[in-house]
């Protein structure tokens, strides 16, 4: 049986939303990694990656790190974490 904290809406918004953002960021970074491994001439030469690739990578990194921070703050706000 799950603890009652999982039924708390504050916990759901504070922690689970951050967890979902972290997972989505991880999937976006994984897709960026696949794109990088299948890339053409810009990966082998001195040319910079396309703007779209840098945007996808930046979005994935921002979502992953932002989701982690959201979870930490959510644990603190919901009272599940104390120092």
pLDDT of residue 67: 95
Top pLDDT among 25 and 79 is at: 25
Residue 75 pLDDT > 70, yes or no?
yes
pLDDT of residue 56: 94
Model confidence band, residue 41 (pLDDT cutoffs 50, 70, 90): low
**What is the signed CA dihedral for 11, 66, 25, 78, rounded to 10 degrees?**
-10
Q: Give yes or no for a contact between 82 and 34, defined as CB atoms under 8 angstroms apart.
A: no
Q: How many helices (H) and strands (E) does the chain have?
A: 4, 0
Dig out the tokens for 58 from the structure: 């930046």
Domain boundaries, the chain: 9-78
pLDDT of residue 5: 67
Q: What is the mean pLDDT of residues 6-32?
A: 88
> How many Cα atoms within 13 Å fall on the side-chain side of residue 36?
14
Q: What is the mean pLDDT of residues 61-69?
A: 96
């Amino acid at each position: 049986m799950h603890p009652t904290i999982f039924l708390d809406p504050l916990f759901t918004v504070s922690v689970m939303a951050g967890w979902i953002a972290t997972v989505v960021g991880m999937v976006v970074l994984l897709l960026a990694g696949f794109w990088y491994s299948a890339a053409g001439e810009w990966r082998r030469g001195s040319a910079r990656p396309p703007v779209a690739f840098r945007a996808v990578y930046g979005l994935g990194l921002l979502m992953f790190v932002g989701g982690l921070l959201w979870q930490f703050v959510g644990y603190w706000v919901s009272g599940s974490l104390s120092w």
